[in-house]
Structure 1
Amino acid sequence: MTDANTARFNAEALSWDSNPDVQQATALAHKAYLAHLPDAPTLSTFSVLELGCGTGLLSLALAPSVRSLTAIDAAPGMIAALESKLANNPAAPQNVHPIAVLLESPDDPVLNGQRFDLAVSHLVLHHIPDLPAVFRTLHGCLVPGGKVMVTDFENFGPEARRFHPESKMDGVERHGIERGEIRRVLEEAGFKDVKVETAFEMEKRVETEPGNGVLEGRMVFPFLICEGTKA
């Protein structure tokens, strides 16, 4: 993730959860993950790595269903917001472990050599310059038979650009993910049984005219869920 991304998300950390589009996308992604993951008895044994956890909205939703969840984000401000939630809410799950790091290797000391049953990431891929590198890292972070499962909005053509206001294009590397590209990236990283399909559609606020800053338009964006298994 670039310095532009880190600076933006540090600045937005305190207000992040107040965005209804963020809340809705996370809730829909959580539902999609549960629909694609094993049932409770098996899922409850999983150790999970979440890449780009932000303020932990998905982390805290998934945590009660799994054994442990290591929540990683390159923006210290986002991790601080998650740590505050964990410290100040007695009902918060205690199996979430936040780490502020730009994870570029499965052998990063912050992981202490841990390997995971599942790696997830939501609305992060469109900010990552080098997708092959990040999926090679995630592949290395998994146990044999471990799964990767990621969600992001789909690049369905020029109109996909409207997902972001023009003022927030710094750090946006692509306007959604493309089915063929993401399948190829997962397979080349070593994943088998790769599946890429529509997870859900979400209506989102967009600028009425690109660049005018008036978020009173509405558009429906398709989201993909992409998964694979480590051989």
Structure 2
Amino acid sequence: MSTTAASKSQSSHFDQAAADWDQRPTSQQLMVVPSRLMAEVAFGIDDRVLDLGAGTGLLATAIASKVTQVTAIDMSEPMLAVLDAKGHANIRTVLGNVAQYSKEHLGQYSAIVSCMVLHHIPDTAETFRALADLLQPGGRIALVDLFAEDGTFHGTPEENAEKGVQHHGFDPEALRALAAEVGLVDIKFQPIAEVQQRNGRAYPLFLMTGHLR
């Protein structure tokens, strides 16, 4: 499947699932992530935060009350519509791929967060370059995703294709190398949660933190 076809398939999947997204078993299990992330990464009232692949706002809504503004970017308009309906005045929603915007369009941020997004993005290196461009000097990242897995987290190969899965989790050292290339330092990984899937297996998730020089 081409990158364009994969992107369309992925958008269609998330568009169709948006209305019930927060009630899905996986989404319910991920509810523990915001508090655990914020226990490791402090946010203050002067912060402007970008939520990459914000979806219906799992992270954005939890962080919004602690900061000046959250910009929530996502490829799915219906997902962002669900987030908008939650009525947080300081959450700005932006439709699109973060790599298509420059800091002149989106601004710069003191922190960038995401949850379970990176494995849906074809070009991880391009994404890290975009994130570094959007960070202020000293700006932080806090990214949650899957440790490397065997491709069964989302189900069958057909389900992986439908959901736009581009990576079967990540080796932390590979991500550390990409982060270092764009000027991110003090990169750390730690387990943050597990997701139990319908196949009976538990898949561990990591929190990747660091900051721009």
Same fold at TM > 0.5 = yes
Q: Give the alignment's Cα RMSD to 1 decimal.
A: 1.7
AA at the equivalent of 2:168: H
Q: Equivalent residue of 2:46, what SS?
A: coil
Is 181-190 or 126-135 further displaced after alignment? 181-190
Structure 1 residue 109, shift from structure 2 partner: 5.9
Partner SS state of residue 99, structure 2:
coil
Distance apart, 1:205 and its partner CA = 2.5
2: distance between equivalents of 1:219 and 1:65?
35
**Conservation of the 8 A alpha-carbon contact between 1:37 and 1:43:** no
Structure 2 counterpart of 1:107: 102
In the TM superposition, residue 106 of structure 1 has moved relative to its aligned partner by 4.8
- Name the structure 1 match of 2:204: 222
* The structure with more radius of gyration: 1
Partner residue, 1:214: none
Which runs of structure 2 are paired with 1:29-48 in the superposition (5 Å)?
Answer: 29-38=33-42, 43-48=44-49
Runs of 5+ consecutive residues of structure 1 not aligned to the other structure: 87-92, 207-216
Q: Which residue of 107, 117, 126 maps to 2:110?
A: 117
The CA deviation string for residues 78-131 of structure 1, in whole angstroms up to 9 with x for no partner, is 111112222xxxxxx3211111122214526642xx210000111001111100
- What is the count of residue pairs matched by the alignment? 205
Q: Is contact 1:48–1:70 with CA below 8 Å preserved after alignment?
A: yes
Query: Quick one: distance in 2 between partners of 1:175 and 1:127?
Result: 9
1:5: how far off?
1.4
| 8 Å contact kept, 2:103–2:133 | no
Of 147, 154, 157, 1:164 maps to 154
Work out the CA distance in 1 between the residues paired with 2:166 and 2:61: 27
After superposition, the C-alpha distances for 1:12-41 in whole angstroms (9 at most, x for unaligned) are: 11121110221221x222122112112xxx
Identity of aligned residues (%): 30
Contact 1:47/1:66 (<8 A) preserved: yes
| Partners of 1:123 and 1:153 within 8 A in 2 | yes
Establish whether residue 154 from structure 1 lines up as the match of residue 147 from structure 2. yes
Paired residue for 1:89? none
